[in-house]
Chain A
């Protein structure tokens, strides 16, 4: 049994068989061989090397003929690598002594070389990493033969374990059979995390290197609540998690009945419970659970796929779909939040040493006005088809807000001139994600219609913790008294100014904080669609005075751990079955 800790990004518990996939999207098969299979497997490796050599020779001859001998020579180098005596000795040792499968040995040995080459300072030599990766793929293809399967063609339930999943890989997964994800890299903003949340399956990311410790078919537990992954669990762990998974299922089933009931407290205060979405498809999840609107519609997905940037029409169609599905219910569209970890194609435009403190979010939009205008135009055009609201992310200074609003007014004028209809009364709000905005919150309130507190970034910037950095991730804590103070300040300022205030981000999706937030005076929550039933259940169970007492007491506690424990205890008192 091996317990590993990563970053929890999508809640729930999944238990099942591991599907380990390589960076080409192929399954890496079982790691170990039966003792008496060694000789046969070595022969299989020989055949694969011979077949690969033949392919490379054919390439060489074709290229030499067409372009000249000197161009074919690169394939001679490939042949040399394929037949390298040291590599061969290494593979033999792994298969003979450690009983690794040839596939696993090839992958492991060649990846080690790839890594070394990648790290070489001479860029020309570092390019050799591609050659090695090429040889690895060729060998694997020859070893796997017909057994080679892509992750798109699954036949039984699996937990997908991968270094990373590209957007297209995730899109091609057979969603019927994928019961959980774990990846070596990535953080809460990673694409895998977002997709896992959208699919509502447990996921843990940012595990660090662990694929070498697991083999296809191994039993694995993914705990998406705590960020824990257990490889080859023992009986005790298995029993404990099976029980937990069962409880989770029956609890969720029991909440189905809440769908058509409002999120009203036991003493009659109406709470607006809204959903956070990324993809237009997720609107269904929100409607199924009886959301009062979309509190956060992230629009980055339009940019993170392959291909050219979306045009105005692509934006417009996506927004229209969401707005029409939601009828007259409010839909808060957050303008592009690109930069930091969210970049096109996974590669930053220019490497920044502190991307979270760099060119991201509204800063990107204000620097790329044509890009920003395209989005503003599309949202405005869609505004006649529903109750749309603008929300600008990461606003830090009043100047930024004014620039964004000015641009919006400019785009409105444009549309007016061209006789394009839009809703002039559209509401404009900002996301509160930076302590600076909280410090000057009263000034901001005079210039906006609403605010929404993005707790993920606010916590990160308040506590100076990069939440994707495993070394310090434990310091990232929503319960920190400093964070609570900022929430309190913002909520009270909004209420004083008669402006609506929402909390989106992971904090609002956690039932641990529901009572605290209601006690602070919050009357609107925007949560991941999967969390709607639980949060609604808490709202319907508690009274406002009860929540206020919890809030008053929590604000007196000294540290994050005490706060969290206290909040969990209080939740347990009112709803023992919901507390995690």
Chain B
């Protein structure tokens, strides 16, 4: 099994930051992949499959986040997660 490690940086564009609902969506998506997902803000690095960890990043609007994915489905996972953040968590979020 190949263990690919991929990293990409995305900017949080959601005006309220990565709060509970976007964090929930992010974690739910991350959990669909076998790969390990880690998210870093500056020197703080957390588990991308834990909502408590993600919330602790306190990622407000404009924060650059480095998403690092390790595993055999890394490419798919990274693409999907980055798309979610870049597309401002799609239309699921905003009432």
Q: Which residues of A contact B (CB under 8 A)?
A: 68, 70-71, 73-74, 76-78, 80-81, 84-87, 113, 116-117, 120-122, 124-125, 128, 131-132
When C-beta atoms are compared, the residue in chain B nearest to A78 turns out to be B20
Task: Specify which of B17, B51, B93, B95 is in contact with A81 (CB 8 Å cutoff).
Answer: B51
Is the pair B19, A125 in contact by a Cβ cutoff of 8 Å?
Answer: yes
CA gap between A81 and B27 in the complex, in Å: 10
Enumerate chain A residues within 8 angstroms of B28, measured Cβ to Cβ.
Answer: 76, 80
A134 to chain B: closest CB distance in Å?
11
Q: Does the CB pair B51–A80 fall under 8 Å?
A: yes
- A77's partner among B24, B49, B53, B92 (CB-CB below 8 A) is B24
List the B side residues contacting A74 at CB < 8 Å: 20-21
Q: Which of A76, A85, A121 contacts B58 (CB 8 A)?
A: A121
Considering the chains assembled together, what is the distance between the CA atoms of A70 and B24 in angstroms? 13
- Expressed in whole angstroms, the minimum distance between the Cβ of A91 and any Cβ of chain B is 12
Nearest-neighbour CB distance to chain A for B39, whole angstroms, equals 13
- Bound form: Cα–Cα A70–B19 in Å: 14
B23 CB-CB contact with A under 8 Å: yes
CB neighbours of A80 from chain B (8 A): 23-24, 27-28, 51
Contact A84 B52 (CB under 8 A): yes
A408 to chain B, nearest CB (A): 53
Give Cα A80 to B49, complex, Å: 10
Q: In the complex the two chains form, is A117's CB within 8 Å of B56's CB? A: yes
Alpha-carbon distance A84/B48, docked complex (angstroms): 11
User: Assuming the A-B contacts A85-B49, A128-B55, are A76 and B24 also in contact, with contact meaning beta carbons closer than 8 angstroms in the complex?
Assistant: yes
CB distance from B18 to the nearest CB of A (A): 8
Residues of A close to B94: CB separation below 8 A: 70
Q: Is the CB of B95 within 8 A of A68?
A: yes
A113 cross-chain contacts in B, Cβ below 8 A: 52, 56
Q: Are A124 and B56 in contact (CB under 8 A)?
A: no
Provide the bound-state CA to CA distance between A73 and B94, in Å.
Answer: 11
Whether B21 and A86, one on each chain, are in contact in the complex, defined by CB atoms closer than 8 angstroms, is no
B-side contacts of A124, CB under 8 Å: 16-17, 19
> Inside 8 A of A73's CB, which chain B residues have their CB?
21, 24, 92-93
Inter-subunit contact A131/B20 (CB<8 Å) = yes
Q: Are B17 and A70 in contact (CB under 8 A)?
A: no
Question: How distant is the Cα of A77 from the Cα of B58 in the complex, in angstroms?
Answer: 16
B56 touches A77 (CB 8 A): no
Kindly state whether residue B60 has any CB partner on chain A within 8 Å: yes
Q: Would B52 and A81 count as touching, CB distance under 8 A?
A: yes
- Contact present for B50 and A87 (CB under 8 Å): yes
Complex interface: chain B residues within 8 A of A117 (CB): 55-56
B55 to A, closest residue via Cβ: A128
Q: With a CB–CB cut-off of 8 A, which chain A residues contact B19?
A: 124-125, 128
User: Residues 42-62 of chain B: 1 if any A CB is under 8 Å from the residue's CB, otherwise 0?
Assistant: 000001011111011010100
On chain B, the residues within 8 Å of A84 by CB distance are 50-53
- Taken together as a complex, chains A and B put the C-alpha atoms of A85 and B47 apart, in Å, by 10
28 A-B pairs whose Cβ atoms sit less than 8 Å apart in the complex: A70-B92, A70-B94, A73-B21, A76-B21, A76-B24, A76-B28, A77-B23, A77-B24, A77-B51, A78-B20, A80-B28, A81-B51, A84-B53, A85-B49, A86-B53, A87-B50, A87-B52, A113-B56, A116-B56, A117-B56, A120-B58, A121-B58, A122-B58, A124-B16, A125-B19, A125-B60, A128-B19, A128-B55
The complex places the Cα of A80 from the Cα of B52 at a distance, in Å, of 9
B28 to chain A, nearest CB (A): 7
CA distance A427 to B16 in the complex (A): 60
The 8 Å CB contact of B20, one of A70, A87, A128, is A128
Measured CB to CB, the closest approach of chain B to A333, in angstroms, equals: 50
| Chain A residues whose CB sits within 8 angstroms of the CB of B95 once the complex forms | 68, 70-71
Question: Is there an interface contact between B52 and A122, defined as CB atoms closer than 8 Å?
Answer: no
Closest chain A residue to B93 by CB distance?
A70
Q: In the complex, A341→B28 CA distance in Å? A: 46
User: Closest A-chain residue to B22, C-beta based?
Assistant: A77
Whether B52 lies near A86 (C-beta < 8 A) is yes
Q: Which residue of B lies closest to A73 (CB)?
A: B21
Chain A residues contacting B24 (CB-CB under 8 Å) are 73, 76-77, 80
8 tightest A-B contacts by CB? A77-B20, A77-B24, A86-B50, A70-B95, A80-B51, A120-B58, A80-B24, A122-B60
What is the CB-to-nearest-CB distance from A540 to chain B, in angstroms, rounded to a whole number? 65
Nearest residue, chain B, Cβ from A121:
B58
Judge whether B58 and A125 touch: CB under 8 Å. Answer: yes
CA distance A78 to B21 in the complex (A): 9
Give chain A nearest CB distance to B60 CB in angstroms: 5
Chain A, Cβ-Cβ closest to B47: A86
Contact A125 B17 (CB under 8 A): yes
| Distance from A135 Cβ to chain B, minimum over Cβ atoms (Å) | 10
Instruction: Return A77 CB to nearest CB of chain B, in Å.
Output: 4
